[in-house]
Protein backbone atom coordinates (compact mmCIF):
# COMPACT_ATOMS: atom_id res chain seq x y z
CA UNK A 1 0.00 0.00 0.00
CA UNK A 2 2.84 2.39 0.85
CA UNK A 3 4.44 1.70 -2.52
CA UNK A 4 1.21 2.53 -4.34
CA UNK A 5 0.87 5.84 -2.47
CA UNK A 6 4.49 6.75 -3.15
CA UNK A 7 4.11 5.98 -6.85
CA UNK A 8 0.98 8.17 -7.01
CA UNK A 9 2.78 11.06 -5.32
CA UNK A 10 5.75 10.79 -7.67
CA UNK A 11 3.50 10.70 -10.73
CA UNK A 12 1.55 13.74 -9.54
CA UNK A 13 4.72 15.68 -8.75
CA UNK A 14 6.39 15.08 -12.10
CA UNK A 15 4.20 17.70 -13.81
CA UNK A 16 4.95 20.47 -11.33
CA UNK A 17 6.63 23.71 -12.34
CA UNK A 18 8.21 26.43 -10.23
CA UNK A 19 4.88 28.20 -9.55
CA UNK A 20 3.60 25.03 -7.90
CA UNK A 21 6.47 25.14 -5.42
CA UNK A 22 5.57 28.75 -4.48
CA UNK A 23 9.05 30.06 -5.11
CA UNK A 24 10.02 33.65 -5.81
CA UNK A 25 12.76 35.46 -7.69
CA UNK A 26 14.45 38.44 -6.07
CA UNK A 27 16.78 41.27 -7.06
CA UNK A 28 19.93 42.15 -5.11
CA UNK A 29 21.53 45.49 -6.07
CA UNK A 30 25.04 46.50 -4.97
CA UNK A 31 25.82 50.16 -5.55
CA UNK A 32 29.59 50.47 -5.92
CA UNK A 33 29.33 53.78 -7.77
CA UNK A 34 29.81 57.33 -6.47
CA UNK A 35 26.10 58.24 -6.86
CA UNK A 36 22.96 57.47 -4.91
CA UNK A 37 20.66 55.51 -7.22
CA UNK A 38 16.95 54.95 -7.69
CA UNK A 39 16.01 51.53 -9.06
CA UNK A 40 13.13 50.75 -11.42
CA UNK A 41 11.82 47.31 -12.38
CA UNK A 42 9.65 47.25 -15.49
CA UNK A 43 9.16 51.03 -15.25
CA UNK A 44 8.06 51.00 -11.60
CA UNK A 45 10.21 52.56 -8.89
CA UNK A 46 11.15 49.90 -6.33
CA UNK A 47 13.58 51.77 -4.09
CA UNK A 48 16.79 53.68 -3.56
CA UNK A 49 20.30 52.31 -3.12
CA UNK A 50 22.72 54.77 -1.48
CA UNK A 51 26.42 54.83 -2.35
CA UNK A 52 28.34 51.73 -1.14
CA UNK A 53 25.21 49.91 0.01
CA UNK A 54 23.29 46.82 -1.06
CA UNK A 55 19.52 46.47 -1.20
CA UNK A 56 17.24 43.53 -1.88
CA UNK A 57 13.87 43.55 -3.61
CA UNK A 58 11.98 40.33 -2.93
CA UNK A 59 9.66 38.60 -5.35
CA UNK A 60 10.06 40.56 -8.58
CA UNK A 61 8.55 37.61 -10.45
CA UNK A 62 10.24 34.77 -12.28
CA UNK A 63 10.15 36.18 -15.81
CA UNK A 64 11.75 38.75 -18.11
CA UNK A 65 12.35 42.22 -16.66
CA UNK A 66 13.78 45.59 -17.60
CA UNK A 67 15.98 47.08 -14.87
CA UNK A 68 16.97 50.74 -14.70
CA UNK A 69 19.26 52.59 -12.33
CA UNK A 70 18.91 56.39 -12.31
CA UNK A 71 20.92 59.04 -10.50
CA UNK A 72 19.32 61.78 -8.37
CA UNK A 73 18.91 64.00 -11.47
CA UNK A 74 16.82 61.25 -13.09
CA UNK A 75 19.51 60.39 -15.66
CA UNK A 76 19.72 56.75 -16.69
CA UNK A 77 22.93 55.24 -15.31
CA UNK A 78 22.42 51.65 -16.39
CA UNK A 79 19.74 49.66 -18.24
CA UNK A 80 19.48 45.86 -18.32
CA UNK A 81 17.11 43.31 -19.76
CA UNK A 82 17.16 40.12 -17.71
CA UNK A 83 15.35 36.79 -17.52
CA UNK A 84 15.12 35.30 -14.03
CA UNK A 85 13.66 31.86 -13.49
CA UNK A 86 14.00 28.74 -11.43
CA UNK A 87 13.47 30.38 -8.02
CA UNK A 88 16.73 32.31 -8.27
CA UNK A 89 17.87 35.81 -7.33
CA UNK A 90 19.49 38.18 -9.80
CA UNK A 91 22.59 39.99 -8.51
CA UNK A 92 23.24 43.40 -10.09
CA UNK A 93 26.45 45.26 -9.32
CA UNK A 94 26.60 48.88 -10.48
CA UNK A 95 30.13 50.28 -10.59
CA UNK A 96 29.79 53.60 -12.43
CA UNK A 97 27.40 56.50 -12.61
Q: Within a domain: residue 39?
A: yes
Domain CATH code at residue 55? 2.60.40.2890
- Structural domain including 84 reads 24-94
In a domain, 60, yes or no: yes
The answer to the question of residue 51 being in a domain is yes
Write the pLDDT tens digit of every residue in 6-52: 555 555 554 444 444 567 899 999 999 999 999 999 999 999 999 99
- Confidence tier at 70 by pLDDT (50, 70, 90): very high
In the prediction, which pLDDT does 3 show? 58
- Burial of 63-91, coded b for 16+ CB within 10 Å and e otherwise, reads eebebbbbeeeeeebbeeeeebeeeeebe
Assigned domain for 3 exists: no
Q: Is residue 62 part of a domain?
A: yes
Q: Is residue 9 part of a domain?
A: no
Q: How many domains does the chain have?
A: 1
Residue 31 lies in a domain: yes
The proportion of the chain whose per-residue pLDDT surpasses 70, expressed as a percent, equals 77
Amino acid sequence: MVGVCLAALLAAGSGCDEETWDCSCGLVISNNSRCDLTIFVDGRQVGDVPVSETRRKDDIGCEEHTLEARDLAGENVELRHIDVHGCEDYYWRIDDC
